[in-house]
Amino acid sequence: MLELQELKKSFGGQPILKGVDLSVEKGDVVAILGPSGAGKTTLLRCVNFLEPADSGHMTFDGVTYDLGHMSRRDILALRKKTGFVFQNYDLFRNKTALQNVTEGLITGRKMPRAQAEALGMEMLERVGLADKAGSYPSQLSGGQQQRVAIARAMAPQPQIIYFDEPTSALDPELTGEVLAVMRDLAQSGMTMLVVTHELSFAKNAANKVAFMEEGQVVETAAAHSFFAQPQTDRAKEFLRILNQT
């Protein structure tokens, strides 16, 4: 469904991604793990063109794109098939929860308002926030904002949703509600690519793990075997340290 080949990106001469290969099948929930500075977030931002990659190829839904030469049109078309959930939620601050969900449908995809609002309410219901449809982001807790952000990403029925550390800005007692929504989404068959520090989510909800270090995916494995028998020394070390805490 999504395949990356030799994705490279540097900032000011400093290579951040040194040729990333990654393959995501339809229905996969892939957790990207790795130490800070490994390039996880940059990878996700390159995949949705928030940062232009320097080179590499991406195959999405059977079409291969040259990441070094993307047209605005291709970028927009690809973004309409994907959803993105940010670390800091980034809900539209001037719009209510419902408007946050419907904006991309009405303005971006020209869906009739009534249909978009019905769909939007359905999405808010799925994340348990139908009663907050008229609230502005500033009136919601961090966990609620992130659930609205997930509803916003789900609404256009994308082929994949990217999550960039969706719980790392949240208080521990609020991460649970967000992870529950994500688990629910994973079980419904949504394809997800998740940069996370939540090992429990990676263990329980992901079916694959991609372990990144120094700008490369150094190990890809089924989630259960990654945690039971990590192959690379670096992954073993990473898990050992995390298990101590």
Partner 1 sequence: MTQRLLDILAQGFTRILIPGLTMTIPMTVLAFSLAMVVALAIALAQFAKLPVLTGFSRFYIWVFRGTPLLVQLFVIYYGLGQLGLKLPAFVAGVLALGLNEGAYCAETVRAALESVPVGQLEAGECAGLTWWQSVRRVVLPQAMRTAFPPLGNSLISMLKDTSLVSNITVAEMFVAAQRMVSYYYEPFAIYLEVGVFYLFFSTLITKLERWGEKKLNAYEYK
Q: Which residues bind partner 1 (CB under 8 A)?
A: 48, 50, 76, 79-80, 82-84, 86, 88, 90-96, 103-104, 107-109, 136, 138-139, 152-153, 156
Nearer of residues 14 and 138 to partner 1, judged by Cβ: 138
**56 CB-near residues (< 8 Å, 6+ apart):** 4, 5, 6, 7, 8, 19, 20, 67, 68
Nearest approach, Cβ of 118 to partner 1 (angstroms)?
A: 18
Nearer to partner 1, 157 or 229 (CB): 157
Measured CA to CA, the distance from residue 116 to residue 215 in angstroms comes to 40
Give least dist CB 90 to partner 1, A.
Answer: 4
**Helix or strand (DSSP H, E) at 205:** none
Q: Which residues pair with 212 in a beta bridge?
A: 217
Strand (E) or helix (H) holding 148: helix 142-154
CA-based nearest residue to 161, from 104, 212, 217, 114: 104
Q: Residue 109 CB, nearest distance to partner 1 (Å)?
A: 6
Q: How far is the CB of 101 from partner 1 (least distance, A)?
A: 9
Which residue, 174 or 209, is less far from partner 1 as judged by CB? 174
d(CA 128, CA 32): 27
**Residue 55 or 88 having the CB closest to partner 1:** 88
